[in-house]
A and B are shown apart, each in its own frame.
Chain A
Amino acid sequence: MSVRAVDAPTTSTLARRIGLERTVTLVARLREVGILLVLLATVVVVGIQAPLFFSVSNFEQILLNVSLIAIVVVGQTTVVLTRNVDLSVGSVVGLVAFATGDLLKEHSLGVAGAIAVGCVLGIGLGALNGLIITVGRVPAIVATLGTLYVYRGIDFLIAGGKQVSAIDLPRSYLGIASSSVAGIPTLILAAAVIALVAAYLLRNSGIGRQLYAIGSNPAAAEVVGIPSQRLIFGSFVVCGLLAGVAGVLWGSRFGSVNALAASGLELQVIAAVVVGGVNIFGGSGTVIGAVLGAVLLATIQNALLILHLSEFWLLAIDGAVILLAVTADAAIRGYFQRILMRTGRR
């Protein structure tokens, strides 16, 4: 090899060359870019193995499956940023889904009315979580573990083994999920709009920044006079509302709802949030990252189905992806922090 050897720039000299500031923003973006890269790699690899995967209708299917989870993921991100967690979201989705279906079936409430009731119910359930946590001073993980069972229990009480089927539901309600606007399915559009609005507000509103501050250093937030408890309460209300929205759309999408609808959803949601680069201890991460995390997990699931892998592999690989994402995230962050320390100190 006669080519003159060029010193590969180490990351720290690289950091100095392109400027500390840009490196840092790059690292921050890198987390989302990283998920996108993994997503692309998955698509390419699976696409070569099974050309069926590459169809437009399959991608649309993946996004449709993701859209409801994504709406809940947005709410969950809001909560996790404040160093809290909401384990009850699956039960809220299920309860709201059943209540909405039941109202449409048994009472002639009208679609608009049912949607409104679903949203208000979501807000109420979220507010109850928020009250237990901020006024009752119960740790969020314990409080929402409790309400996970309580909300599901109420669901069972009112469902009582009954089921709402597609024939019981008005056509206009079922039409929401199958409709599209300008060629894009309404559900995907709704999820995208919700995610973008939330991302914008968390980044650019005063309240959004305060949510990050609370999660980053709760004690300092108190000193600065940020109304932490009120904002944490608010984040649980938002999370409840979005779970309610997802619940309303649930029946429309799947046509039938029983008392077990959306059980276990909370774990998928939290997995997406963590894979999406949101720090489980609050303070950093973005809604866009979390939604991308949800898309990645759904894509992998879809790929495994298309590749005809057994159910066992499905769960195991899901788990592996979560562990990998979180470990890689911690490693990357630790690495860049050390570089920052070194360059920052001059």
Chain B
Amino acid sequence: MTADTAPVLELNGISKRFGAVQALTNVDLNLFAGEVHALVGENGAGKSTLVKILAGVHQPDAGRIRLNGNDLVLSGPAAARNLGIAVIHQQPNLFPDLDVAENVFVGRLPRSRFGRVDWRELRRRADGIFASLGVKQRVSVPVRGLSVADQQMVEIAKALSLDARVLVMDEPTASLSTNEVERLFTIMRQLRQRGVAVLFVDHRMDEVFEISDRISVLRDGRHVITSPVSELTPADAIRHMVGRQLDSLFPKEEASIGDVALEVRGLTRRGVFSDVSFQVRRGEILGLAGLVGAGRTEIARVLFGIDHADGGEVLVSGRPVAIERPADAMRLGIVYVPEDRHEHGLVLDFSIAANISLPIVAKLSRFLVVDQSREEALADAYRKQLQIRAMSVEQSASGLSGGNQQKVVIAKWLATSPKVLLLDEPTHGIDIGAKAEVHRLISQLAVRGLAIVLISSELPELLGMADRVLVLHEGRVAADFGRAELSQERIMAAATGQGER
């Protein structure tokens, strides 16, 4: 990379908004031929949105994209691909039933006379690409059955067959073993030598500093800094990633901390998380921090009986319990409010009342018929208590704002009178005002004696709400901070594998 050459790809003032959430604001980014460029940032910093814009999946609301100095519009995935921008998403996007060679050249299979597919030529060309990468890969086996790492190689081969000048990879190392990561890095260095501009998203600081030439940091959808890797330390990068402002938050009220409500000892789910131990007391809020994929949601799913642990113990009020299915968890007073309200939490076509009464509908029924007046009375009580803004509880849930939908989901679980509340990103995607209200609500629930596990990617939220924070890194507990020790930098360092211990 030389400073005087023009960038291959220039992003200027890119902005993108999804509903109430401003995902990207005025982002600038340049990519040069023959550089490996890391894109880092917290969860929700806008990295994936940026990748999807380059892939042509999303169109920016503002800003311009220039390739080799020419303005271009990425109207769709095919357009990006044809312009020489190859994007490898987190999950490889291949055809499992077709063989490797066909996957590399799909849509552009070499033809002999009469339009017949020239299988021999196809294999030869595919073999050639893998050979040039120094990768041993049989090209006549179907993709179904290949490991994620091998599927990535197929994607890279596909990009090379298209003569891509820009290769974008979204967390390519997320599901690879150490050896596979090394192989990927060897390939990335080769691509750099060939003059390809490689942009990749990564969470592991050691990897970022091993492979990249330059690093760009995004925070809250804004571009913070781009710097050569030699002029930055991991600690600097982390400092740029965090450092959000701590205002506009509702700090936790003092709650009296009681007995241990939930205890987890050595909980393990193979390949997902291992040896996780913690306690939550009545009135306490335990924060679970970590990057996407660190195992936070997966722990909650095991505690709620959706998935099963391979080892370890769960104790409720001091007694060991077996949680086979969500019904068991609910009986023990554990409830889970998932991150995706639409998919898992809320029946959008139901009324607010019907949503709230859903888990206890049997109790509200007489002779198999729901007692409408009791249902309404219950729902109305929660509407007032949680200040759900709606015309009436008979209104359908689909018409509510994100914050109010979240309150309905929480109300639904409160109706079961739980002891332990597992909250997964409760303020994700809701606007700032509603956030404060949800925070106030969580705090009140703790005061009332609930034990709360708060999974959050927003460090200020954890700092404001949590009594203790457990930081997970790749399925293991990387740090356990008491309230006094908490800082954004320390959490992020532990979450990116730069832990002090």
Q: Which residues of A contact B (CB under 8 A)?
A: 20-21, 24-25, 203-206, 209-210, 212-213, 215-217, 219-226, 279, 283-284, 336-337, 340-341, 344-345
Which residues on the B side are within 8 Å of A223 (C-beta)? 77-78, 81, 93
Q: A204-B117, A209-B98, A341-B147 are in contact. Are A225 and B107 (CB under 8 A)?
A: yes
Q: A20-B138, A20-B141 are in contact. Are A222 and B77 (CB under 8 A)?
A: yes
Contact for B98 among A212, A337, A344, CB less than 8 A: A212
Which residues on the A side are within 8 Å of B81 (C-beta)? 223-225
Which residues on the B side are within 8 Å of A212 (C-beta)? 95, 97-98
Q: How far is the CB of A200 from chain B (nearest CB, A)?
A: 9
Q: How far is the CB of B206 from chain A (nearest CB, A)?
A: 24
| A213 near B106: Cβ-Cβ < 8 Å | yes
Contact for B116 among A205, A219, A341, A344, CB less than 8 A: A205
| B141 near A24: Cβ-Cβ < 8 Å | yes
Contact for A209 among B82, B109, B144, B145, CB less than 8 A: B109
Which chain B residue lies CB-closest to A210?
B107
Contact for A216 among B82, B97, B138, CB less than 8 A: B97
16 extra A-B contacts, CB within 8 A, seeds A209-B102, A213-B95: A21-B140, A21-B141, A204-B119, A205-B115, A206-B111, A206-B115, A210-B107, A213-B102, A213-B107, A216-B98, A220-B94, A223-B77, A223-B78, A226-B106, A283-B95, A341-B145
Contact for B106 among A224, A279, A344, CB less than 8 A: A224
Give Cα distance in the complex from A306 to B146, angstroms.
48
Give Cα distance in the complex from A221 to B98, angstroms.
12
Contact for A345 among B96, B98, B111, B147, CB less than 8 A: B147
Give Cα distance in the complex from A189 to B16, angstroms.
61
Which residues on the B side are within 8 Å of A345 (C-beta)? 147
The number of A-B residue pairs with CB atoms under 8 Å apart is 86
Give Cα distance in the complex from A213 to B143, angstroms.
12
Which residues on the A side are within 8 Å of B95 (C-beta)? 212-213, 216-217, 220-221, 283
Interface assignment of B339: CB less than 8 Å from any CB of chain A: no
Which residues on the B side are within 8 Å of A341 (C-beta)? 145, 147
Give Cα distance in the complex from A220 to B104, angstroms.
12
Give Cα distance in the complex from A222 to B97, angstroms.
16
Which chain A residue lies CB-closest to B79?
A225
Give Cα distance in the complex from A213 to B95, angstroms.
6
Which chain A residue lies CB-closest to B95?
A216
Give Cα distance in the complex from A212 to B93, angstroms.
15
Q: How far is the CB of B108 from chain A (nearest CB, A)?
A: 9
Interface assignment of B142: CB less than 8 Å from any CB of chain A: yes
Which chain B residue lies CB-closest to A23?
B141
List B131-167 residues whose CB lies under 8 Å from chain A. 138, 140-142, 144-147, 150
Give Cα distance in the complex from A78 to B78, angstroms.
25
Which residues on the A side are within 8 Å of B116 (C-beta)? 204-205
| B78 near A224: Cβ-Cβ < 8 Å | yes
Which residues on the B side are within 8 Å of A219 (C-beta)? 93
Q: How far is the CB of A222 from chain B (nearest CB, A)?
A: 7
Which chain B residue lies CB-closest to A27?
B142
Contact for B150 among A203, A217, A344, CB less than 8 A: A344
* Closest A-B pairs by Cβ, 6 of them: A340-B145, A225-B78, A283-B97, A216-B95, A216-B97, A223-B77
13 CB-based A-B contacts, threshold 8 Å: A20-B138, A21-B141, A24-B140, A204-B116, A205-B115, A205-B117, A206-B117, A213-B98, A220-B95, A223-B93, A284-B97, A341-B145, A344-B150
Give Cα distance in the complex from A25 to B119, angstroms.
15
Which chain B residue lies CB-closest to A208?
B117
Give Cα distance in the complex from A203 to B138, angstroms.
20
| A209 near B96: Cβ-Cβ < 8 Å | no
Which residues on the A side are within 8 Å of B138 (C-beta)? 20-21
Give Cα distance in the complex from A79 to B98, angstroms.
17
Give Cα distance in the complex from A114 to B81, angstroms.
49
Which residues on the A side are within 8 Å of B147 (C-beta)? 341, 344-345
Give Cα distance in the complex from A19 to B483, angstroms.
58
| A215 near B144: Cβ-Cβ < 8 Å | no
Which residues on the B side are within 8 Å of A224 (C-beta)? 78, 81, 106-107
| A209 near B117: Cβ-Cβ < 8 Å | yes
Which residues on the B side are within 8 Å of A221 (C-beta)? 95
| A206 near B109: Cβ-Cβ < 8 Å | yes
Which residues on the B side are within 8 Å of A25 (C-beta)? 140
Contact for B96 among A203, A283, A344, CB less than 8 A: A283
Which residues on the B side are within 8 Å of A203 (C-beta)? 117
Q: How far is the CB of B452 from chain A (nearest CB, A)?
A: 38
Which residues on the B side are within 8 Å of A283 (C-beta)? 95-98
List B84-139 residues whose CB lies under 8 Å from chain A. 93-98, 102, 106-107, 109, 111, 115-117, 119, 138
Give Cα distance in the complex from A221 to B81, angstroms.
13
Give Cα distance in the complex from A345 to B109, angstroms.
28
Give Cα distance in the complex from A206 to B96, angstroms.
18
Which residues on the A side are within 8 Å of B93 (C-beta)? 217, 219-220, 223
Which chain A residue lies CB-closest to B77?
A223
| B111 near A344: Cβ-Cβ < 8 Å | no
Which residues on the B side are within 8 Å of A226 (C-beta)? 106-107
Q: How far is the CB of A303 from chain B (nearest CB, A)?
A: 33
Q: How far is the CB of B355 from chain A (nearest CB, A)?
A: 28
Which chain A residue lies CB-closest to B119?
A204
Query: Would you give the 0/1 interface string for B256-298, flagging 1 where the beta carbon is closer than 8 Å to chain A?
Result: 0000000000000000000000000000000000000000000
Q: How far is the CB of A276 from chain B (nearest CB, A)?
A: 16
Give Cα distance in the complex from A311 to B312, angstroms.
58
Q: How far is the CB of A219 from chain B (nearest CB, A)?
A: 7
| B145 near A337: Cβ-Cβ < 8 Å | yes
Which residues on the A side are within 8 Å of B140 (C-beta)? 21, 24-25
Give Cα distance in the complex from A300 to B146, angstroms.
39
Give the one of A217, A221, A223 with max B CB within 10 A.
Answer: A223
Q: How far is the CB of A245 from chain B (nearest CB, A)?
A: 23
Give Cα distance in the complex from A221 to B138, angstroms.
23
Which residues on the B side are within 8 Å of A337 (C-beta)? 144-145
Give Cα distance in the complex from A223 to B88, angstroms.
11
Give Cα distance in the complex from A219 to B89, angstroms.
13
Which residues on the B side are within 8 Å of A209 (C-beta)? 98, 102, 106, 109, 117
Q: A205-B115, A210-B107, A283-B95 are in contact. Are A225 and B144 (CB under 8 A)?
A: no
Give Cα distance in the complex from A283 to B98, angstroms.
8
Give Cα distance in the complex from A210 to B98, angstroms.
10
Give the one of A24, A222, A226, A341 with max B CB within 10 A.
Answer: A24
Which chain B residue lies CB-closest to A215?
B97
Which chain A residue lies CB-closest to B55?
A223
Q: How far is the CB of B147 from chain A (nearest CB, A)?
A: 5
Which residues on the B side are within 8 Å of A215 (C-beta)? 97
